[in-house]
Structure 1
């Protein structure tokens, strides 16, 4: 009987590996609250169990849950919600059981408590990965904390990757990590990594840092499939989950303006290697994607962080069908080629092109970004730009490009930056990025492949390892 069991396991293992796709379940989750921290965790654990049942019914291979999904977003008293990660802890044991009984890989974020030998207790924002047998195969502690002052940052030398029995090697990181070289780019030093799991409780901030835009931009720029599970609380700027492909397509994404929990269960094509972004194809891969469902986001709250006086901005003339212009912030220059359908345009709308190379604040962190973008404005005033406004312009085509700064000392990581009035990224685009040999620049281009309306932001975002005050190289 043991021989038969092993034989069947080998057959199933090879079947998983030889298939051309796997099935992923990503959960946008609105965390429930109870009378005590313990009961809050148990209440959400019941919800996770129900979600996992839905994933099992549809034969999902992997289920991904959001950051803070078991606890709600806890910044003031994490010690009351933290658990010791071992098999004797009843919360951990229950998660192991959920994975094992449903024979599914399970990715869960929680607050972890660790008591050190000197009796000092540390608290971490931790992702756990369980295999189909319920065993913990990876523990990743978030490195880049966002206003999480009572938590300890995870070690910088972690190796947050795991390989599954269906033949896919995943990288993993959490929320704010996506904006930093370590771990969001260092994880890609492992050439086997083709897919990323991304638990998040994203704080949506206009105009550059909304959830779906950041998620899609990372996948499209790095040629990876991305499974992004977001904490849902739209009144507090949280929400927006998706399954994204390395060629820029979106399998499914959602954003709600009311408290909601939603499973996204879809087949994800396997990649033999990451998509090559160094060549700009003449046509969008696999043809144009279908238009995505427009979301109702009228009650979804977004923060706003845009110091217009720091940016170089130039208004474009919407009465002209062709606009070609360049704008620079010191030596950082952005080129725009824009075709406007003037017969379908309300010329009272206002759009400006911008260039920026300088500091920005992410919560409690000061950093350095580089941006080339077309942006909608409420009025001619620069201070009105980058907000959620009604627009009435049809763009036949938009191209943003440039030989943009990057260097060996302070690498800059560029991604597409697009957003429409429904807080969704523009998916009918082509993005490419090719390092220029012998120079401190990279040739970056983003262009539409289909006419676009409702555009709020269309550009390129660069996050750099340079400090906020570091000068740009000449």
Structure 2
């Protein structure tokens, strides 16, 4: 009897250890294991051509075969949740009619509980949803994926399209039991003529036993107030799942660059899965926390990439940097304060009532001031001033926005850098109001190359960057050579200016910027 009890105890202990250690991964208390998969989707050779549902299912099935392999691989590494990219199952470049055979019927998550794997008979045209549900159930993992969905409507209804159906770019989230937990219909479409915009933005989130609530939105949504900012602030969310099909645009909107900035600005964890098509400039996925990132950016080779990482759960009562930013702006503390509550050296702070970056009367005339010039960056007309010499103080303004920079190069290289400012409405590939102060490496040695896409740099620069931003929604960008990420030493508000400082970047500096979104002026 004693031997039997001892054997039982050992079995229970082994089961417990197996739960805690999966494929050598130890899960620490207050942490969870997440996975994202950057997928090189198998695309239709002619997406505009109409096909039968059977042919559409065959192509999507080939992508789902890969998903199934990656779910199993992630689960074996202890992942509790996995996220797949936007457009990963059906592809893109469809017309409204040619995409129709690729669309599943997906009931809105508010319509009641449904487990597609176990209740496949409830709805027609749900083959893709069923298969995703069964992947989650089989591997006991939460799963988030993106697909096209359809919803019939009466032509007499307001907003009902002439073909009698709505077509949505849709995210679906499944629990570890295969149940459909939440759906999200993309609100900010990016030239997606095959899809409709929902009448009202979805605020989609789902609950998990390991990290609380996860919110979700898609790709272009990340640049707008609705639903991304509303979702996070209204529901106090700290974990975000983010399928995307993002085309990188340097120097300010590389996928990993902005995903990290969003995580930092809102103090949230982001599980971001991008599609992988380097010829279209599409790569860049990651698992992001406000202080550490696990990223993948590869423009050289093909094939998918699974990222698995253990990250801490952010408590729901933890304030966002944006909340802190607004508090600093309103209160205008006399002492230096940062979003991380870290004290700053006196040299980083500027004195009360002093304009940051202002050159003293004593210093004036000692050296020639660098000239202002104009160049296009991100399709916007930036005003620039070049960085000359080993160190200096610069100022450049546009409209109501002024940017200030103190800098010192570790080693003087022959690379040209410039400080640029833009304060206005961006109107190419979307319309939205931007306030941006950006220190960037130029593409060459002439002023006309400033603002070009650059991927490599050698200059290590200490800097403090300030701006009198008019919005609290500021995304700190810090991108280094090879499209790698770095983190600021300090950032926060002081004397109605937002600042970002770094002593010696970890690699050559590509971009250090304050990217502000003034949503009210969109």
Q: Verify same fold: TM over 0.5.
A: yes
> In the alignment, is the contact (CA less than 8 A) between 1:386 and 1:457 conserved in 2?
no
Match of 1:55 in 2: 74
CA-to-partner distance for each residue in 1:190-226, whole Å, 9 max, x for gaps?
Answer: 4541111110000111222111111011001111111
Is the 2:393–2:406 contact (alpha carbons within 8 Å) kept by the matching residues of 1? yes
Tell me if structure 2 keeps the 8 A contact 1:221–1:431: no
Shift in Å at residue 433 of structure 1? Answer: 4.0
**Shift, 1:94, TM fit:** 1.3
- Give the equivalent residue in structure 2 for 1:98: 135
- Whether 2:386 is the aligned partner of 1:386: answer no
Does the 8 Å contact 1:37/1:80 carry over to 2?
Answer: yes
Q: Secondary structure at the match of 1:255?
A: coil
Aligned partner of residue 189 in structure 2, secondary structure: coil
CA change 1:102–1:84 in 2 (3 A) is same
Report whether the alignment pairs 1:188 with 2:232. yes
1:41 Cα deviation after fit: 0.7
Partner SS for 1:311 = strand
Partner secondary structure for residue 468 of structure 2: strand
The alpha carbon displacement at 1:164 in A equals 0.7
Alignment of 1:1-40 (within 5 A): 19-33=29-43, 36-40=55-59
1:354 aligned partner: 420
2:52 aligns to what?
Answer: none
Give the 3-state SS of the residue equivalent to 1:429 in structure 2. Answer: coil
Query: Residue by residue, what CA displacement relative to the aligned partner does 1:251-297 show, whole Å, maximum 9, x if unpaired?
Result: 3444342222111111111111345523344769xxxxxxxxxxxxx
The aligned length equals: 418
Q: Structure 2 regions of 5+ residues with no counterpart? A: 1-11, 21-26, 46-54, 108-115, 117-122, 156-162, 325-337, 344-375
What is the CA distance between 1:73 and its match in structure 2? 2.4
Contact 1:75-1:147 at 8 Å conserved across structures: no
The alignment yields a C-alpha RMSD, in angstroms, of 2.7
Counterpart position of 1:83: 104
How far, CA to CA, are the matches of 2:224 and 2:428 in structure 1? 11
Question: Counterparts of 1:449 and 1:276 in 2: how far apart (Å)?
Answer: 24
1:236/1:307 Cα in 2 relative to 1: closer, same or farther (>3 Å)?
A: closer
Q: Which residue of 2 aligns with 1:463?
A: 517
Report 1:27-426 matches (<5 A): 27-33=37-43, 36-76=55-95, 77-85=98-106, 87=116, 88=123, 89-118=126-155, 120-246=164-290, 248-273=291-316, 274=318, 276-277=320-321, 278=324, 279-281=338-340, 306-307=378-379, 310-317=381-388, 319-320=389-390, 322-341=391-410, 344-346=411-413, 348-363=414-429, 365-377=430-442, 378-388=444-454, 390-395=456-461, 397-406=462-471, 413-425=473-485
Rounded to whole Å, the distance in 1 between the matches of 2:170 and 2:339 is 38
TM normalised by structure 1 equals 0.81
Distance in 1 of aligned mates of 2:132 and 2:249: 33
Unaligned runs of 5+ in 1: 1-7, 285-303, 407-411, 437-441, 469-474
Question: Which residue in the other structure is 1:432 paired with?
Answer: 491
Quote how far apart the aligned CAs of 1:419 are.
2.2
Rounded to whole Å, the distance in 1 between the matches of 2:312 and 2:226 is 27
Q: Give me the TM-score of the superposition, normalised by structure 2.
A: 0.74
Q: Is the 8 A contact 2:457 2:509 kept in 1?
A: yes
Alpha carbons of structure 1 residues 122 and 352: separation in structure 2 relative to 1, 3 Å = same
Q: Secondary structure at the match of 1:266?
A: strand
- Aligned mates of 1:376, 1:33 — CA distance in 2: 36
TM-fit CA distance, 1:159 = 1.8
Paired with 1:180 and 1:207, the residues of 2 have a C-alpha distance of 19
- Seen in structure 2, the aligned counterparts of structure 1 residues 362 and 139 have a Cα distance that, compared at 3 Å, is farther
